[in-house]
Structure 1
Amino acid sequence: MSGLRAAGGVAKKSAKKAAGGFSGIEFHKSKGQHILKNPLVVQSIVDKAGVKSTDVVLEIGPGTGNLTMKLLERAKKVIAVELDPRMVLELTRRVQGTPYQNQLQIIHMDVMKADLPYFDICVANIPYQISSPLTFKLLAHRPSFRAAVIMYQHEFAMRLVAKPGEGMYCRLAVNTQLLARVHHLLKVGKNNFRPPPKVDSSVVRIEPRNPPPPINFLEWDGLVRLCFGRKNKTLGAIFRQGNTLALLEQNYQMAAALHKAADGGQVDLVAAVNALAMADGKPDAAADDDGSGSDEEMGEEEEGGKGGGGGSARRRRGKASEGFKEQILEVLQRSGYIEKRAAKMSQDDFLALLAAFNAGGIHFT
């Protein structure tokens, strides 16, 4: 009997290994390593991604390869970007001697530092702490891809897909939905991972708008950032703040020089979005990556505590002239947005508001 038990144990271990088991590998929660272990969820993600036999698939954070193996069954090629050398070794071992060996390319480095190659579809179960910068890095990628199917922390995913008037609607939603169509696909409970994270997850499909909207994205984000600093206040109240007006007047005075070389106010989208993703002013505050920051907290940098232009550095710029204040309020009044609140404004509203300000020579950079 003991021999039969031993043989049975060996058989179970072999089966687990063949199925992409994780024996001998310790996962680090601090690095965001939560391996998706439920085969039904894995299959559902592959199905919803709509992978074609001619597709090159970019997978970010393949881990032990449970999702990778399913993608290899469907795709022409899979490019897996993995930072952990142990996972790279495990992934290499799994495809060695299989028909998929020549279909898999592994890039061993930090995805945020990688120059990503061409791909048709991105599928990713990512470390949640890079959710925001990675999303915008992908949206800045050229040539544009067909879709990205990404596993996010559930609350972050809800922010991505939120609509005007909903509680989760925020600057992240506005910026993302300007550049892409975003759909929530499925919620994934924490027990579907090993080790289980502290929060539930959700899978989101992102389809970039191609071509992207012909606007200066840095200026767009400047306006949206300001409006969402206090998203439940009226725009009239926000734009009456002294520090905000002082900053805008400075931009107004420099507008001709700043925009003369920008071909009608447009800038390169790739450069703009990359700058937003990687700089201190990246789209959405770091707190948003784990869902812990409120929109009001995200706006403190811009509002400077009491509302206005973001602390002592901006306060030193002085006060705006009364004439400029009247000019700002006239634009808001004429465009019909003076009593509007960012929390309930749509993409079209923000586009119309930006156009109204720009027509009056007022820019957000």
Structure 2
Amino acid sequence: MIRKVAGALCAEPRDPVVEIGPGTGALTGRLAAHYDDFTAIEIDERAVAVLREEHPNVDVRHTDILETDWSALAREKGRALHVIGNLPYNITSPILFSLLDARDALSEAVLMMQREVAERLTVPPGNKRYGAPSVQVQLLAEPELLFRVSRHVFKPKPNVESAVVRLSFGEDANRTEGVEVAWLRTLVRAAFGQRRKMLRNSLRKWTKDQGIAFPNGWDRKRAEALSPEQFVELARHLDEAGARVNG
């Protein structure tokens, strides 16, 4: 399984590769043997000591992954980063969105995560798992569910199944088309915050309360019916109508 995860990276030997939370290095050794510029970011002090002793050629950084400045690291390395890691279940979302926010500094991210979360990132509109994370990830990256991982391959065995996802970044992957990402994120979260309600109710503060009509009869749709591209269109429509300023 370690070989399969490591092989999912689309990086050349001289590309900068960053591993998130390597622990004591189950994956690190294989990666460090293949990539000349390899960085490991680990918060646990004891794990850091082990990594530095067993992998002296690795740039081990003792820091919190959520405090990592990806843009600064990419500038230091001189090119876009290739990220890989087994994400802790309790902070998967914060890490994921920190990577999306740093998309200009990244080439790709190969991430192992809870299977349910991985599937949510890649499902189409209308699927019961389609939600705010689906929309945001699909607009800012090209997500691909590579393979599923049985919980039985881990020791100790977790209670959930896992999966590995690749997020590819770059200009072609960003489909927000000039709409401010923060505004789009606010709108999408509001729409899915009351997902069983029609958009005319869940987004009322930006529409009916301000006398702004929905485009294309979308007021009678629920959030799960709109594609990521349609959310961009809706955000642009409301933005141009002044909903952001007044809302």
* TM-score range relative to shorter protein: 0.7 to 0.9
SS in 2 for 1:178: helix
Distance 1:340 1:51 in 2: 42
SS in 2 for 1:149: strand
| C-alpha spacing 1:172/1:143, structure 2 compared with 1 (3 Å) | closer
Match of 1:340 in 2: 221
**Maintained 8 Å contact 2:210/2:243:** no
**Maintained 8 Å contact 1:57/1:123:** yes
Distance 1:181 1:137 in 2: 16
Match of 1:107 in 2: 61
| C-alpha spacing 1:94/1:362, structure 2 compared with 1 (3 Å) | same
The answer on 1:132 being equivalent to 2:96 is no
Distance 1:174 1:142 in 2: 16
TM-score under structure 1 length normalisation:
0.60
Match of 2:83 in 1: 122
Residue 326 of structure 1 and its aligned partner are, at CA, apart by: 7.4
Match of 1:307 in 2: none
TM-score under structure 2 length normalisation:
0.87
Match of 1:76 in 2: 36
Question: Higher relative contact order by CA 8 Å / sep ≥ 6: 1 or 2?
Answer: 1
Residue 50 of structure 1 and its aligned partner are, at CA, apart by: 2.2
Match of 1:318 in 2: none
| C-alpha spacing 1:354/1:71, structure 2 compared with 1 (3 Å) | same
Structure 2: gaps spanning 5 or more residues: 75-79
Distance 1:69 1:347 in 2: 39
| C-alpha spacing 1:142/1:351, structure 2 compared with 1 (3 Å) | closer
Match of 1:222 in 2: 186
Distance 2:100 2:183 in 1: 17
Residue 169 of structure 1 and its aligned partner are, at CA, apart by: 0.3
Match of 1:87 among 47, 64, 74: 47
| C-alpha spacing 1:207/1:344, structure 2 compared with 1 (3 Å) | same
Larger mean CA deviation between 116-125 and 71-80 belongs to: 116-125
- Aligned residues: percent identity? 31
Aligned length: 236
Residue 206 of structure 1 and its aligned partner are, at CA, apart by: 0.6
Residue 238 of structure 1 and its aligned partner are, at CA, apart by: 3.1
SS in 2 for 1:66: coil
Distance 2:243 2:225 in 1: 23
Distance 2:104 2:9 in 1: 19
Distance 1:106 1:74 in 2: 16
- Note the 1:274-353 alignment, pairs <5 A: 325=209, 327-328=211-212, 331-332=213-214, 334-353=215-234
SS in 2 for 1:194: coil
Residue 327 of structure 1 and its aligned partner are, at CA, apart by: 2.0
SS in 1 for 2:51: helix
SS in 2 for 1:337: helix
- Note the 1:35-184 alignment, pairs <5 A: 41-95=1-55, 101-102=56-57, 104-116=58-70, 117-118=73-74, 120-141=81-102, 143-184=104-145
Structure 1: gaps spanning 5 or more residues: 1-40, 96-100, 250-323
Residue 335 of structure 1 and its aligned partner are, at CA, apart by: 2.9
What are the Cα deviations for residues 278-321 of structure 1, in whole angstroms up to 9, with x where unaligned? Answer: xxxxxxxxxxxxxxxxxxxxxxxxxxxxxxxxxxxxxxxxxxxx
**Maintained 8 Å contact 1:181/1:209:** no
Question: What is the root-mean-square deviation of aligned Cα atoms in Å?
Answer: 2.1
What are the Cα deviations for residues 185-239 of structure 1, in whole angstroms up to 9, with x where unaligned? Answer: 1111112122221111111101124274321112112211221122232223434
**Maintained 8 Å contact 2:135/2:228:** yes
**Paired letter, 1:345:** L
Match of 2:77 in 1: none
Match of 1:234 among 198, 210, 223: 198
Q: Which structure is higher in strand share?
A: 2
Match of 2:238 in 1: 357
